[in-house]
Amino acid sequence: MDGKGWNTWGEGVAFGLENGMAVIPYALLKYYRKLNLTGSESMLLIHLLSFRQVEGIDFPSLEELQAVTGRSIPVIAGELQKLMKEGFISIDGADDELRDIHYERYNFSGLYAKLGTYLAEVSREKAQEKPGQAGREPGARAVAHHSGTPIPDGGGNGRLAVPGDKEAEGGRSLFSIFEKEFGRPLSPMECESISGWVDEDRYPEELILLALKESVFAGKVHFRYIDRILLEWARNRVKNAQDVKAYSQKFRGGGR
């Protein structure tokens, strides 16, 4: 390589180093599949860690994540939903009284706890293994490796789905519908709200979409108003479209 080539290479290395370096747990790279994470979900975690360490951004927007991953916002939102639901990450909120602002940040303690638990299991099994058993990962006998291995669908029903399962993937359409009605990408907190309605409150998707529709008709398209609608319906045992119609007719002309 001539001197010019070395200069170009050296300048490239220098430029890369000046842009910063992120510290990524090697255990995440090595064992993410053992934690039932896909490659894209693991890469999303790596990007979140990198945003904090290199960019100083504790709560990157969906648009910022889209720019570095090249994936669609609904897909990213769905992956964040799964990571939060399964306890890999959480969102902490705090108030800055001096600047009078509220801010959020991703908390990775769940990820580190899961990695630590798995590594402890690996260490324990290695200490107990007999001759001829070396190299076996925890739970290896229970895992069948083939192209149709089921993966968690990220929904609240605990069902497993294989890639391409349209019924399992249908739940993510909620994010797309909300983004279309709001006319903008959803924030991670808004995605978490939708996830909470489905996974914690157990509202049927039909009911969530009806509440969204009612908020649009009322000209109050924001999550707090939709949440109030769902709470009111839950108190009055409104569970489906027929119940909504009957409830609306009963209280027609009344204020909310």
Q: What is the pLDDT of residues 57-94, one digit of tens each?
A: 999 999 999 999 998 999 999 999 999 999 999 998 87
| Dihedral class, residue 89 (left if φ above 0, else alpha if ψ from -120 to 50, else beta) | beta
pLDDT at 96: 67
Residue with the larger pLDDT of the pair 230 and 136: 230
Structural domain boundaries in the chain: 3-112, 172-250
Fill in the amino acid letter for 185. P
pLDDT at 192: 80
With a cut of 80, say whether residue 20 has pLDDT above it: no
Confidence of residue 130 (pLDDT cuts 50, 70, 90): low
Confidence of residue 170 (pLDDT cuts 50, 70, 90): very low
With a cut of 90, say whether residue 243 has pLDDT above it: no
Q: Confirm if 201 and 234 have CB atoms less than 8 A apart.
A: yes
Report the C-alpha gap between 95 and 173 in whole angstroms.
33
Confidence of residue 103 (pLDDT cuts 50, 70, 90): confident
pLDDT at 132: 53
Q: What is the pLDDT of residues 4-17, one digit of tens each?
A: 555 665 665 555 55
Nearest to 115 by CA among 53, 43, 30: 30
Q: What is the pLDDT of residues 108-129, one digit of tens each?
A: 999 999 989 888 888 888 887 6
Nearest to 235 by CA among 199, 206, 192, 201: 201
Span 163-185, average pLDDT: 65
How far apart are the two ends of the chain, measured CA to CA in Å? 76
Q: What is the pLDDT of residues 191-219, one digit of tens each?
A: 888 888 988 888 899 899 999 988 888 88
Nearest to 147 by CA among 165, 163, 136: 163
Q: Do domains 3-112 and 172-250 have the same CATH topology?
A: yes
Q: Pick 3-112's CATH classification: 3.30.9.10, 1.20.1270.360, 1.10.10.10, 3.30.420.40.
A: 1.10.10.10
Nearest to 182 by CA among 28, 77, 57, 91: 77
Domain spanning 172-250: CATH superfamily: DnaD domain-like (1.10.10.630)
pLDDT at 159: 33
Report the C-alpha gap between 8 and 96 in whole angstroms.
45
Residue with the larger pLDDT of the pair 133 and 226: 226
With a cut of 50, say whether residue 149 has pLDDT above it: no
* Average pLDDT score over the chain: 76
Percentage with pLDDT > 90 across the chain: 23
pLDDT at 156: 38
pLDDT at 15: 54
